[in-house]
Chain A
Amino acid sequence: MNVVVTGHVDHGKSTLIGRLLYDSKQITEGRISEVQKLAQEYKKKFEFAYFIDSYRDELKEERTIDTTQVRFKGKERIYTIIDTPGHKEFVKNMLTGASRADAAILVVSVTDGAQEQTKRHLFLLDLLGIRNLIVFVNKMDLVSYDIKKFLDIEVQVSKLIKEYNFESIRYIQGSALEGLNVYKEGVVDALDSLIIREWEKPMRFLVQDTYRNIIVGKVISGTLKEEDILGFQPSGLWGQVSSLLTYKANLKEAGEGTSIGLVMDTYPKRGDVGMLKQDWIKAKEEYDVEFVLIDGKVEVGTPLQLKCGTKIVNCEIKKIKSKVDSETGEILQEVSPKKVKENEAAIAIIGSDPIVVEPFSKIPELGRFTLSKNKKIIGMGVVL
């Protein structure tokens, strides 16, 4: 399970992860002495955050710049813990990390309460489809573990997430610095009790390439079986799977997430999506999306590229229905907006060359995309 740690700058994200790793004895002795030596060299007090803030600049400036991942063994299962930066200027690095997560820990300092990036991160986590949230109210040692202060933060965060779609929310008070409610109980137990919701999805096969006469790609949802008849979009081809194989073996069927090769009586193209007749859909040229811009600005009609699955198409924004404040998730009262700027989010209609897209809530892999311009990724979003 992948868990992202988010929150405002200096609220203690990296410290929490460092503490988790240290208390669970997953940091090597070499790394401990290396970090102690570094702290001395830079005349700084030893910090748990130094275990994962590995750039020289991060140590010097005492802030996380880019996202990082560490494997962590809980009591029940193994996690990939994803650290993210809490500065506004590094939102793209936060998104890079958080997009891989199944669940999130939001760190909020009890002395500071929810701040700008706390709010923005909540909005982005919701947009990324994360439904499991653990709110870790940190630095309780600074308020002598005053339970009333903890409850104030709980009320504050509850109000912020009222409109979002989080399904499981846990509040934990503790101190990453002192190690209270981190490893022994608290955060780890909350992680171990998380359940990631699964739901029934139709079969979708993403075409990556053709090698000699074998079509290669990935089953992104459902189960693909030998002899299945597939309809491909946007190419419009139909064909039957005569064999289904990996390098090692021939298979009778392949489930979600499997990279496979197909022998068929047709040759779909890279970017095509294969579907079964009963839940086949047509490629679209217009669809509703919600997106965040991380770089520059985009106007209605600006030529862009969109990537979804393995397909890249030319696209433009046809209409901006509304702009969303990425700090609060609230719809902004702007009359017929025509452009979106850096760090802004919008609900819009995109027009593009034909591409298979589906609502993110139905099939995530076909409902998430990037926007790019001149070989630079400038935004990301989901299909509504």
Chain B
Amino acid sequence: MEAQLVNESIFILRETYAEFKNPAILWSMGKDSTASLNLCREAFLGKIPFPVIHIDTGYKFKEMYEFRDLLVKEWNLDLIVARNNEHTSPDKGKFKCCTQLKTEALLKCLQDYKFDAIIVSIRRDEHGIRAKERVFSPRSTNSKWNYKNQPLEVWDLYQNLSKDKEHTRIHPILHWTELDVWKYIKEGNLPYNPMYLAKEGKRYRSLGCEPCTFPIESDADTIDKIIEELRTTKVSERGGRIQDKEQAFSMQKLRTLGYM
């Protein structure tokens, strides 16, 4: 694990807190956003000074809720659970389901609490569309991502470019890889969801909603073995996530509308 990656992320988080009035962080209880929560603890020297939002689709795994409640207590998190009550279900189409249960729930939460910055733990190596992102990524008043006209973002001169009623997505681990995340978890001895470890030859590599997430074949039952597996794998991380693959460019369409 390169110290430089952590230093850069801490710098980004502190810039966020200084540049925005009302930020918050999204937490899916997965490895990436849990790593980001710990980066916040490092950046703000213990207590995270803003709310932690869980977009609850109602379709998460039981183990994820357990993990959430455990860490809220242990890390003294100010948790907001956001839901879209007019909900659909995955069998009516993944695209619609993701948009309603995740994107729309997030947008409603943004409006209710008037957040002007949302910290999201996406990484460039997860998906080609995410690789195109800026670290400070402005969204329009209706939360759309104008991917065709992203602002100039040079060096580490991050700026709040949002106007009234707009918000900015902040991506503090955009430059990390899946391997970096696991190394960080290992070195910091951080808690993680046990579903990532192999049981009976299968493990979850990426965690989402239960109906749309599938385990991969793996014998990696320790973090060290996960790290070893990632060094040699030929399978992509989100291989077990359906919503990216329903049709070509699903991810681009989802993200244009405000998906993470």
User: Residues of A at under 8 Å CB distance from B?
Assistant: 25, 28-31, 34, 37-38, 41, 52-57, 65-71, 80, 92-93, 95-96, 99-100, 208-209, 211, 214, 216-218, 245-248, 257-259, 261, 270, 294, 307-308, 310, 312, 365, 368-370, 372, 375-377, 380
Contact = CB atoms under 8 A, between A and B. Distances in A.
B152 A270 contact: no
B42 A380 contact: no
A65 to B, nearest CB: 7
Given A54-B252, A71-B177, A247-B42, A96 B159 contact: no
A384 to B, nearest CB: 17
8 contacts: A31-B236, A68-B124, A69-B175, A70-B124, A211-B44, A211-B45, A375-B161, A377-B151
Contacts of A54: 127-129, 131-132, 252
B92 interface: no
Contact of B128 (A52, A259, A261, A380): A52
Nearest to A52: B128
Contact of A28 (B124, B163, B234): B234
Q: Report which residue of A25, A217, A377 has the largest number of chain B beta carbons within 10 angstroms of its beta carbon.
A: A377
Contact of B18 (A209, A365, A369): A209
Interface residues of B, number: 51
A340 to B, nearest CB: 16
Interface of B: 3-4, 6-7, 10-11, 14-15, 17-18, 41-46, 49, 124-125, 127-129, 131-132, 134, 147-148, 150-157, 159-163, 175, 177, 233-236, 239, 245, 248-249, 252
Contacts of B245: 34
A370 B23 CA distance: 24
A80 to B, nearest CB: 7
B150 A93 contact: yes
Contacts of B42: 246-248
Nearest to A31: B236
Nearest to B130: A54
A259 B11 contact: yes
A56 B249 contact: yes
A25 to B, nearest CB: 8
A96 B132 contact: no
B236 A377 contact: no
Given A57-B148, A211-B44, A257 B7 contact: yes
A294 B150 CA distance: 13
Contact of A95 (B124, B147, B152, B159): B152
A258 B154 contact: no
Given A54-B252, A68-B131, A69-B131, 10 more contacts: A29-B235, A56-B249, A99-B154, A209-B14, A211-B44, A214-B45, A218-B11, A259-B6, A294-B152, A370-B157
A83 B68 CA distance: 38
A67 B125 contact: no
A208 B7 contact: no
Nearest to B244: A34
Given A66-B147, A259-B10, A96 B163 contact: no
B155 A372 contact: no
A208 B18 contact: yes
Nearest to A259: B10
Contact of A38 (B15, B18, B148, B248): B248
A80 B154 contact: no
Contact of A247 (B41, B161, B252): B41
A259 B236 contact: no
A183 to B, nearest CB: 17
A50 to B, nearest CB: 9
A55 B132 CA distance: 9
Contact of B152 (A57, A245, A370): A370
Contacts of B45: 211, 214, 216, 245, 247, 261
Contacts of B235: 28-30
B141 to A, nearest CB: 14
B155 A208 contact: no
